[in-house]
Chain A
Amino acid sequence: MNLSRRQALALGGAAVSVTLLPVSFAFAASDASTAEIAAFTGGATAGEGSIELTTPEIAENGNTVPIAISAPGATSVILIADGNPTPRVAVAHFGAGAEPMVATRIRLAGTQNVIAVAQMADGSFVKTARAVKVTIGGCGG
């Protein structure tokens, strides 16, 4: 089966509920993302495992950076923009039978790590991160 993303989004819409939280410039703390992850995992340590984060190496536009998370076997994922004033960007819950993947666009305040943590069906957590560079551009050869 060769499903385009347009079709996948249309199909997936019903099964996936995504909470997109607005990025604000209110409270900022360097360990804010650690606290968000701890809240999501209930303090459990997230290991490495079946979770993949797709990001550009350099954002074409820091205001709308395409991010995709795929976490086979997950029931929910949290997306964290580590360097944003409000790091918690989105939480997605996957209903029974839903493909545990989500793709969205996020705003990045600057070069930073994007972190994804997934809760698996057995209650364990897995985590991955990728650096995304945000640059002012210009000067191509």
Chain B
Amino acid sequence: MISRRDFLQASMATSAIYGASGFGKWSRLAAQQSMTQEKLLEFDTFGNVSLIHITDIHGQLNPIYFREPEINLGVGAAKGHVPHVTGADYRKLYGIDDGSASAYALSHDDFGALAKTYGRMGGLDRISTVVNSIRAERPDALLLDGGDTWHGSYTCYHTEGQDMVNVMNTLKPDAMTFHWEFTLGSERVQNIIDDLPFVALGANIFDAEWDEPSELVEPYKMFERGGVNIAVIGQAFPYMPIANPRWMFPEYSFGIRQDRMAEMVAEVRAKGAELVVLLSHNGFDVDKKMAAQVSGIDVILSGHTHDALPEPVLVGETIIIASGSNGKFVSRVDLDVRDGRMMGFRHKLIPIFSDVIAPDAAVTAVIDEQRAPYLDQLTEVIGQTDSLLYRRGNFNGTWDDLICDALIEERDADISMSPGVRWGPSVLPGQDITREDIFGVTSMTYGQSYRTEMTGEFINVILEDVGDNLFNPDPYLQQGGDMVRIGGMGFDFDVSKPMGGRASNMTLLKTGEAIDPAKTYIVAGWASVNEGTEGPQIWDVVESYIRRKGTVTVEPNNSVNITGT
């Protein structure tokens, strides 16, 4: 008799052979230049349950360009394992041909050129088409939104998330969990959640005063689909009050709360759950650790770290699904649940090539309706770029280099800092930069840009502190963002060292002198988590800079020397 573990592994191998993990197949067909909607959506319906996962849309209603990271270093046990594999290594791992549609969608090389061939990805109207197609095959499929949905664009900022709520509601999700949503402020989040036509989940969302489960959300919800009792447990981003301004949602506490998760799994199993799904905003490495430590979770739908993986990762008997960001992908996971347990799965990371998948006209109309009042503002051309503008990567992207240059010049600073967030679409060389593009990489409810004095010692403390949030070998101590971006200063960074020993050789670029720990420098930055931060909004700073330059060119940035990889 085959054990469940063997079955899962056999199923995984079978998936790969049949391309039922979807991958080899769309890679091949893309290489043949014969991408069609039918082929992208082709899926041999399997088992009795279907899950549809989308996460980290960051306000992107319409198709975008989004370059995946070149540098995504893993530390400790994660070193060298997905999602910490990029570029040629990633393509080799999954059998992706250079220059193929898959290479464009999932890796960073030749992004500017490939983007012109394969076009923008995403768009909630295209995603609706995909969801409808899956529901046509499996009418009771669960659509689960991993959060970071009501954040990240001009319209999202000006409507306080209402644009995303209105459009997502047309897709009829079954459940959702959260992160940036809370930066809309407690009251706004409460109001939206009160009116949501689906369940808001977060087993780790607690009342900060009493340290008891919050009444705002449910920890889990039981669904009966395909004759199977399914528990969907939610896990919001654990470190919201640390990574984002806690003064904006002081009533709430989060945290990993592994014991609570184990309790919830036991509780839903006791209630008869035959399939336990964790809708998570933990980040991939945290999910891997949680899967290893908390038994009884069948599927983790992983969000937060924006990783797109064409095959599930197996930890014990748990499969972890990573569905990318910004609307570029939707994961479909079909499961065979029998005799009260998961016996096998079939999975496909569906790439939303916006020129191939037809938009759902009804949803397009709702999207256009959200944008109509702001269209003139959105589409205004501020300047042009000669360089590919992107953000994603552990250390610096050209968008951040541009933002850091803008802060130094517009705010007359020695050094500038930009947060290592992972959202923000790309702009291709030769393209216009619109106001919408600027908001795509800056939009937030605490976007004021500060100008302050910091000692060299304090700048070092910031590098070490943020660096440890990214490179601590214990995933439970990682916050899932990237390294703070620095303008005007170079440094060496050894990711393998413990906190306090990673950053060295800090140099003020404009003089070439070593940073003096005792000396004070003028530092401009934005997205401070401190209440009462004063200064112009970062998008106005960046707009003013681009307007002044007309055409921006971002030179290669070699000011961070990374070692210990």
**A residues apposed to B, CB below 8 Å:** 4-6, 54, 56-61, 66, 103, 133, 135-141
Chain B residues in 8 Å Cβ range of A54: 259
**Given known contacts A135-B465, A135-B468, is B255 in contact with A141 (CB within 8 Å)?**
no
B243 in contact with A137 (CB, 8 Å): yes
5 shortest interchain CB distances as A-B pairs: A140-B243, A141-B422, A141-B481, A60-B241, A137-B242
Chain A residues in 8 Å Cβ range of B306: 141
Per a CB cutoff under 8 Å, which of B255, B256, B529 touches A138?
B529
Interface of A is mostly: loop
B255 in contact with A56 (CB, 8 Å): yes
Mask, B515-530, CB within 8 Å of A = 1, is 0000000000001110
Bound Cα distance from A114 to B480, whole angstroms: 25
Q: A6-B212, A138-B528, A140-B239 are in contact. List 5 more A-B contacts (CB 8 A).
A: A60-B241, A61-B241, A136-B461, A141-B306, A141-B479
- Closest chain B residue, CB of each to CB of A103: B211
Asked if B388 is at the interface (CB within 8 A of a chain A CB), the reply is no
Mask, B248-265, CB within 8 Å of A = 1, is 000001111001000000
Bound Cα distance from A54 to B206, whole angstroms: 15
**Given known contacts A4-B212, A133-B477, A140-B240, is B254 in contact with A60 (CB within 8 Å)?**
yes
For window 174-200 of B, CB contacts with A under 8 Å fall at: 179-180
Bound Cα distance from A35 to B256, whole angstroms: 33
8 residue pairs bridging A and B, Cβ less than 8 Å apart: A57-B476, A58-B239, A61-B246, A137-B529, A138-B466, A139-B243, A140-B239, A140-B479
Asked if B64 is at the interface (CB within 8 A of a chain A CB), the reply is no
A66 in contact with B211 (CB, 8 Å): yes
B465 in contact with A136 (CB, 8 Å): yes
A139 in contact with B212 (CB, 8 Å): no
Chain B residues in 8 Å Cβ range of A103: 211
**Given known contacts A136-B461, A139-B479, A141-B422, is B212 in contact with A57 (CB within 8 Å)?**
no
- Of the listed residues A6, A57, A135, A141, the one surrounded by the most CB atoms of chain B closer than 10 A to its CB is A141
Closest CB-CB distance, A139 to chain B, in whole Å? 4
Closest CB-CB distance, B565 to chain A, in whole Å? 20
Interface size on B, as a range, is 35 or more
Per a CB cutoff under 8 Å, which of A56, A60, A66, A136 touches B462?
A136
**Given known contacts A5-B210, A57-B255, is B304 in contact with A141 (CB within 8 Å)?**
yes
Per a CB cutoff under 8 Å, which of A4, A5, A58, A141 touches B242?
A58
- Closest chain A residue, CB of each to CB of B468: A135
Closest CB-CB distance, B267 to chain A, in whole Å? 11
**Given known contacts A4-B212, A57-B476, is B484 in contact with A139 (CB within 8 Å)?**
yes
**Given known contacts A5-B211, A58-B242, is B465 in contact with A141 (CB within 8 Å)?**
no
**Given known contacts A60-B255, A61-B241, A66-B211, is B305 in contact with A139 (CB within 8 Å)?**
no
Chain A residues in 8 Å Cβ range of B253: 60, 66
A140 in contact with B244 (CB, 8 Å): yes
Bound Cα distance from A18 to B283, whole angstroms: 39
B304 in contact with A139 (CB, 8 Å): no
- Closest chain A residue, CB of each to CB of B525: A138
B255 in contact with A140 (CB, 8 Å): no
Chain A residues in 8 Å Cβ range of B255: 56-58, 60
Asked if B226 is at the interface (CB within 8 A of a chain A CB), the reply is no
B210 in contact with A6 (CB, 8 Å): yes
- Closest chain B residue, CB of each to CB of A4: B212
B480 in contact with A60 (CB, 8 Å): no
- Of the listed residues B208, B242, B305, B527, the one surrounded by the most CB atoms of chain A closer than 10 A to its CB is B242
Chain A residues in 8 Å Cβ range of B461: 136
Bound Cα distance from A66 to B211, whole angstroms: 8
For window 370-415 of B, CB contacts with A under 8 Å fall at: none
A58 in contact with B528 (CB, 8 Å): no
B423 in contact with A141 (CB, 8 Å): yes
Bound Cα distance from A58 to B477, whole angstroms: 7
Mask, B201-214, CB within 8 Å of A = 1, is 00000001011100
Asked if B419 is at the interface (CB within 8 A of a chain A CB), the reply is yes
Closest CB-CB distance, B523 to chain A, in whole Å? 13
Chain B residues in 8 Å Cβ range of A135: 242, 465, 468-469
B482 in contact with A141 (CB, 8 Å): yes
B465 in contact with A5 (CB, 8 Å): no
Chain A residues in 8 Å Cβ range of B112: none
Asked if B12 is at the interface (CB within 8 A of a chain A CB), the reply is no
- Closest chain A residue, CB of each to CB of B179: A140
Asked if B237 is at the interface (CB within 8 A of a chain A CB), the reply is yes
Per a CB cutoff under 8 Å, which of B208, B305, B462, B528 touches A141?
B305
- Closest chain A residue, CB of each to CB of B253: A60
- Of the listed residues A6, A56, A135, A140, the one surrounded by the most CB atoms of chain B closer than 10 A to its CB is A140
Closest CB-CB distance, B359 to chain A, in whole Å? 28
**Given known contacts A5-B211, A57-B255, is B477 in contact with A138 (CB within 8 Å)?**
no
- Closest chain A residue, CB of each to CB of B419: A139
B421 in contact with A60 (CB, 8 Å): no
A139 in contact with B246 (CB, 8 Å): no
Bound Cα distance from A4 to B207, whole angstroms: 12
- Of the listed residues A59, A66, A138, A139, the one surrounded by the most CB atoms of chain B closer than 10 A to its CB is A139
- Of the listed residues A59, A66, A137, the one surrounded by the most CB atoms of chain B closer than 10 A to its CB is A137
B241 in contact with A141 (CB, 8 Å): no
Asked if B146 is at the interface (CB within 8 A of a chain A CB), the reply is no
Chain A residues in 8 Å Cβ range of B239: 58, 60, 140
Bound Cα distance from A138 to B462, whole angstroms: 10
Chain B residues in 8 Å Cβ range of A6: 210, 212
**Given known contacts A140-B479, A141-B304, is B242 in contact with A60 (CB within 8 Å)?**
yes
